[in-house]
Amino acid sequence: MSRTPETRVSTSPSPRSTGDIAPSTGNQPPAIPRVLSIAGTDPSGGAGIQADLKSIAAHGGYGMAVVTALVAQNTHGVRAVHTPPPEFLAEQLDAVSDDVQIDAVKIGMLACAENVDVVDAWLERTPVPAVVVDPVMVATSGDRLLDRSAEEALARMLRHADLVTPNVPELAMLAGEPVVRAWPEVLAQAARVAERFDTLVLAKGGHAGGDAVRDALVSASGVIAEFTTARIHTTNTHGTGCSLSSAIATLFAQTGEWASSLERAKSWLADSIRHGSRLNVGSGNGPVDHFAALWRRAAAPLTPPQIAEKWWSGIADVRGAIDDLRFITGLTDGTLEGDAFRHYLVQDTLYLRDYSRMLAAASTLAPTVDEQQFWASGALNALAGETAVHAHFLGDLSVVDTAAKAAATVAYTDHLAATAARDSYAVLIAALLPCYWIYVDVGTRMLPAAAPDTPYLPWLRTYEDPAFADASTRAIEIVTRCAAEADAATRERMWRAFRISAEQELRFFAEPLEVVAVR
């Protein structure tokens, strides 16, 4: 369903029914509007309050619900209605409004005159920026859903309405006229209703045949905006009226514009109707799929850059904790105790020996020659290049041969070894990635901040090696592409392995000062 160029705008709407106005509070529209539905229930979930809450949520609102009637219905129709005492309806309304600021109200089924009077009195004493009324008066079958006294009470209550969304028979009842079917007559009748109740009216043209459906926002002065859309041939139309009116209420609370809210709500509803059949709910007129667009986005494959951003932000707490470690700040300003740095070098050398084995394992499992070569090269560099740097500071690597692994080293290498032994190539390389990514990130930020006289400057300068940065970038590309191509379960295991390794990096950096402190 898409809007056609046929959109007409009236230049002189009535004062109350102007097409594009800000909410009456005069405040900035809320980012998350609090929208109250006052309506009956639908235990099958497609209409009534259940549909309202789904529509509100689908448009980014916080939905609240006050129940007017308990309705036994399904996709075939209504079987019975139980109406709680009006006093209880009043209690529900006051309980919400006494505590929560309400940005919009959608009113649906009220069931009886007593309920209408309760809602009327509540609206009289409760300022609400926007009130949308879906006057549940006549069923699609033509059956009257309100008695004469309730219809009269509803007519009185409409003085509080900003927008009324009747079907064609309900429009005629509000006008006190016979039902009309021709579209020009529907528009004229809607204008008379708008004038009578000083409100906007949504005139609906879905009753007419043909492949096009017309809907219009009408004031006493005439049509404000008219939309012509393609008809969707489906039986999944249960609850469309409820869903549309609550969607408009939510969008208006965000934008303060009726015409644009209607246009967006109609586009959303068309998409929801189009995908309703996949829900496979009921054997009658099924519900619409309120969250079709949301579920599509959730199911859409993530791109490698999106995964990289998600994972990196997902360890922001770990990275922040690493930055705050005295080991890191001490390396930068030169205040780190020599014993702590020596402990770190020994343990890092022990770690790199096992890390090299895990890189070699990744090379063995890699599905392409390019990836085999990359991980194999990483394994060689871990032993040769990195070990040479350690030897520069330790003087003699024989001390490493007689040293025992500290707790952090054991935990980290055990995690990598267990991942290699029990899980897939994809999960293993995700576990290997933080050693590349975090080291480059930390090192490249430490070096510019380093004190000129820090004894650890030669160590920090190792991070200037372009090959080191290039290897990190390539590792990120390989892992995130693999994650993008993986199924959801594998991708989740990859993320968990990545996160655990990041936490192990934090522990590895923190341990040297902890060990020295207890000596």
Distance of CA 328 to the CA centre of its chain: 37
Alpha-carbon distance of 141 to 78, in angstroms, equals 11
Contact 190, 174 (CB under 8 A): no
- Cα 198 from Cα 193, distance rounded (Å): 8
* Cα 511 versus chain centre, distance: 39
Terminal alpha carbon distance of the chain: 73
Q: How many CA atoms lie within 13 A of 369 on its CB side?
A: 0
How much is the CA Rg of the chain, to the nearest whole Å? 33
Tokens of 176: 């006190």
Q: Name the residues annotated as catalytic.
A: 204, 237, 239-242
DSSP per-residue string spanning 454-490: -TTHHHHGGGG-HHHHHHHHHHHHHHHHHHHHS-HHH
Whether the CB-CB separation of 42 and 243 falls below 8 Å is answered with no
Q: Which whole-number Å values give the CA distances from 26 to 135, 362, 479, in the listed order?
A: 27, 61, 50
245 CA to centre of own chain: 22
- Whole-angstrom Cα distance, residue 186 to residue 190? 6
Name 171's Cβ contacts closer than 8 Å, sequence gap at least 6. Answer: 186, 189, 190, 193, 201, 203
Region of residue 461 (phi > 0: left; psi between -120 and 50: alpha; otherwise: beta)? alpha
Alpha-carbon span 152 to 150, nearest angstrom: 5
* Greatest distance between any 2 Cα atoms in the chain: 101
Long-range contacts of 166-169 (CB under 8 A, 24+ apart): 166/134, 166/135, 166/137, 166/193, 166/201, 166/202, 166/204, 167/138, 167/140, 167/204, 167/207, 167/241, 168/204, 168/207, 169/137, 169/138, 169/142
